[in-house]
């Protein structure tokens, strides 16, 4: 079995784990990982949640805005799926004197900034599509390098806590994005630029505090079409634990996507809120969920690291998510909806606290951690595209607006995801 490399303090080189015992990751590195995650996610989530829709509304007629927004978001989603594993593979093999992660961290976010400037200032849908394409490609290049830094630099005994902190940063980015959009609603260009500047600041901060190194000479084959295609594939027969983790992540995020994609329509169709009321109700529900995510992430990360176990927390988190989805299926009032969102958020926080740590433990090759994490990222990105395709058939059961069927489907997916993870043998 290959020995995972560990960082030697004071040098941008790696030594075998037998020669240097793993030391705890310093606080400045953990801060840099968290700040980078917050900045990158803030720059990418704020447009998805709020500002892209407002920008499209400024430049196309009302009757065409739905189609135009769909075109922009769909292109970005496809490029995000492709970009993360491809840029991860390129990062793994980079031999720059600045290391193999730093160039993609900073360069990717610089490209994302240019793309978001195009979206902020462009006057047509094609310009918005081109700008958002650049933003997604650059942002995912930066994200792939940041996520690979966790297995690169954080020892196993700290990964649960750091994984939970990274999950919290994503939730905080969602809330902060809505605040930024409200603060700069009268000057919409700043609502794109300010989050992007946070992304630049976060990635620069991580680049300054991390220990990085170039790829070892002759450790990779020349990049080719075969290597490009391999960016999206890990052989499940050779690496069954990786495959089971991918399956579990995919199924859990199917359940999560049932809520994130349809809570607005649920509030309108079942609880009867108008278009003018629903934004405030979603904001309240999001705040409740994010607070619960933070509590679950902190609790799960600390307990997981102390026990040295990951699978029980994935199992527990997935069942809590399923309970939250069941409560949503039964909800007939806003107060019951908030209770369901709190339970759902706590389960999501528990899951996020061990998700990255579990992923890092089943990576086939430490030298290709960015590529393999990019493949795993497909498992949580793909459900966001597939659930809206499946949902109309579920909602139509019994005559339409059957949110009970949709959320029960999501709950079953979460339970199946938990069971898939139990087949992993190399992790407790």
Where are the domains positioned within the chain? 25-232, 235-428
Assign domain 235-428 one CATH number from 1.20.1300.10, 1.10.10.10, 1.20.1250.20, 3.40.640.10: 1.20.1250.20
Residues pairing with 173 in the sheet: none
**What's the 3-state SS for 341-397?**
HHHHHHHHHHHHHHHHHHHHHCCCCHHHHHHHHHHHHHHHHHHHHHHHHHHHHHHCC
Cα–Cα distance measured from residue 241 to residue 353, given in angstroms and rounded to the nearest whole number: 19
Question: For 25-232, CATH number?
Answer: 1.20.1250.20
C-alpha angle with apex 305: 300 to 309, nearest 5 degrees? 85
pLDDT of 85 reads: 83
* Tens-digit pLDDT string for the chain (428 aa): 333 343 433 344 444 444 445 678 888 999 999 999 999 999 998 888 778 878 888 888 877 776 788 788 778 888 888 888 888 888 888 888 888 889 999 999 999 999 999 999 988 999 999 999 999 999 999 988 888 888 888 887 787 788 778 878 888 888 888 788 878 878 889 989 999 999 999 999 999 998 888 777 766 666 666 666 666 667 777 888 888 888 888 999 899 888 877 787 788 888 888 866 776 787 788 889 888 988 888 888 778 778 777 788 888 898 999 999 999 999 999 999 999 999 999 999 888 877 777 777 787 777 677 677 777 777 777 887 788 788 888 988 987 789 899 999 999 999 999 888 888 887 77
The 3-state DSSP class for residue 272 equals coil
- For 215, which DSSP code? P
Helix axes 27-46, 125-153, angle to 10 degrees: 160
Range 263-270 contact pairs with CB under 8 angstroms and sequence separation of 24 or more = 266/328, 266/337, 266/403, 267/334, 267/337, 269/401, 269/403, 270/331, 270/332, 270/401, 270/403
* Overall residue count recorded for the chain in this entry: 428
Tokens of 25: 């990751």
pTM exceeds 0.85:
no
Which pLDDT score, from 0 to 100, does residue 157 have?
Answer: 79
Question: In CATH terms, are 25-232 and 235-428 the same topology?
Answer: yes
From CA 358, how far away is CA 212, in angstroms rounded?
A: 22
Query: How far is Cα 318 from Cα 407, in angstroms, rounded to an integer?
Result: 14
List the one residue out of 394, 421, 419, 422 whose CA is nearest residue 409: 394
* Residue 66: predicted pLDDT: 67
């Amino acid at each position: 079995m290959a020995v995972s490399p560990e960082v030697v303090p004071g040098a941008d080189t790696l030594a075998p784990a037998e020669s240097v015992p793993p030391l705890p990751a310093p606080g400045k590195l953990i801060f840099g990982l968290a700040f980078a995650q917050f900045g990158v996610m803030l720059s990418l989530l704020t447009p998805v949640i709020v500002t892209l829709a407002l920008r499209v509304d400024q430049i196309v007629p009302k009757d065409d805005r739905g189609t135009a927004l769909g075109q922009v978001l769909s292109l970005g989603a496809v490029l995000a799926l492709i970009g993360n594993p491809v840029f991860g593979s390129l990062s793994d093999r980079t031999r720059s004197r600045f290391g193999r992660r730093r160039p993609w961290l900073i360069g990717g976010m610089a490209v994302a900034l240019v793309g978001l400037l195009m979206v902020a200032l462009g006057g047509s849908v094609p310009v918005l599509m081109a700008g958002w394409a650049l933003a997604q490609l650059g942002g995912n290049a930066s994200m792939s390098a940041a996520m690979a830094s966790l297995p690169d630099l954080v020892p196993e005994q700290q990964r649960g806590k750091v994984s939970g902190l990274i999950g919290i940063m994503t939730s905080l980015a969602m809330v902060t994005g809505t605040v930024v959009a409200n603060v700069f609603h009268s000057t919409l260009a700043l609502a794109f630029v300010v989050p992007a500047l946070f992304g630049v600041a976060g990635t620069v901060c991580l680049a300054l505090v991390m220990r990085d190194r170039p790829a070892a000479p002759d450790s990779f084959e020349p990049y080719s079409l075969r290597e490009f295609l391999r960016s999206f594939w890990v052989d499940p027969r050779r690496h069954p634990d990786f495959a089971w983790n991918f399956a579990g992540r995919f199924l859990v995020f199917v359940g999560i996507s049932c809520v994130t994609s349809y809570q607005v329509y649920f509030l309108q169709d079942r609880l009867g809120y108008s278009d003018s009321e629903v934004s405030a109700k979603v904001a309240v529900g999001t705040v409740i969920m994010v607070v619960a995510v933070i509590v679950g992430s902190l609790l799960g990360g600390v307990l997981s690291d102390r026990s040295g176990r990951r699978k029980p927390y994935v199992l527990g988190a997935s069942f809590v998510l399923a309970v939250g989805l069941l409560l949503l299926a039964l909800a007939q009032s806003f107060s019951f909806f908030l209770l369901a969102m709190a339970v759902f958020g706590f389960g999501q926080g528990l899951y996020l606290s061990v998700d990255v740590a579990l992923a890092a433990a089943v990576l086939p090759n430490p030298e290709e951690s960015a590529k393999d994490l990019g493949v795993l990222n497909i498992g949580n990105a793909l459900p966001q595209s597939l659930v809206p395709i499946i949902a109309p058939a579920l909602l139509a059961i019994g005559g339409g607006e059957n949110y009970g069927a949709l959320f029960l489907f999501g709950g079953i997916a979460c339970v199946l995801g938990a069971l898939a993870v139990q087949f992993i043998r190399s992790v407790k």
